[in-house]
Amino acid sequence: MSTPASDYRCYRHPDHEAYISCQRCERLICPECMREASVGFQCPSCIAEGARTVRSPRTIAGGAVSGRDGIVSMILIGINVAAYVLQVAMGDRNSAVFDDGALWGYGVANGDYWRLVTSAFLHGSILHLAFNMYALYLFGPFVERALGTWRFTAAYLTCAMTGSVLVYLLADPRINTIGASGAVFGLFAMALILLLRARQDVRGLLALLAINALISTQGNISWQGHLGGFLGGLVLGAAFAYAPRKHRTLVQVGVLAALWIAMIIAIVLRTNALLP
């Protein structure tokens, strides 16, 4: 006995004839509703349900995998270059950009707290800028891929701050300090931890760190900024690489928060020590 044609109707479009069943829910679907699947066809509802149940790929730190590798690193390079061009165009070290943005201990103590951040985007020379941006170009995308966009952005700014805060704590408050070196040394530290986590050869990176540590002790280079950024990077790198999977985000946010709280306390204590 044949089944009447009126029984072969699409469940989503009752006025359309349908002779194909969805491979997932087995309901009849018309050509308009047919979506090609790995085996046969599925209806739009089942395709959408399947997409919701598929877990998005995650980085080693738990961040979402970005289709634009290194985009934040390139943006940071652009900001640093633009800041230097503006600084030079307005008079370099005599410019308002330099005067208002450089890290000067007594300036911070008197309320210019933004200097702790803005100083990380200013540079003293084209060579100073080139060295830091080349390091950011080499290590930034690697760390960014491992952390994901938002974790990387937070980590970079935090390392810049840990570098600035150690400068504020230990350097002569009468001397200006500038440069992205604190953040860059933070990237070095995070890259080291991530490579160790992946059981990769780190001898080349350790040699680079040794050379930079030696350079940090020479001339007018701020070893405090380098050390502060590196220590911040070690703490964050450990949190991103080794946090238990089940509570990964909670641990990472907690470590970030703890670092910022510690920095705020240090800033308050140093400010009270500098003010009469």
* Active-site amino acid positions: 181, 226
Contacts of 48 (CB under 8 A, 6+ apart): none
CB 275 within 8 A of CB 105: no
**Number of neighbours of residue 250 by Cβ within 10 angstroms:** 11
The span from the first CA to the last CA of the chain, in angstroms, equals 102
CB 163 within 8 A of CB 191: no
**Number of neighbours of residue 104 by Cβ within 10 angstroms:** 23
Inter-axis angle of helices 181-197 and 223-242, nearest 10: 30
Side chain identity at residue 140, one-letter code: G
CA-nearest of 216, 219, 59, 260 to 149 is: 59
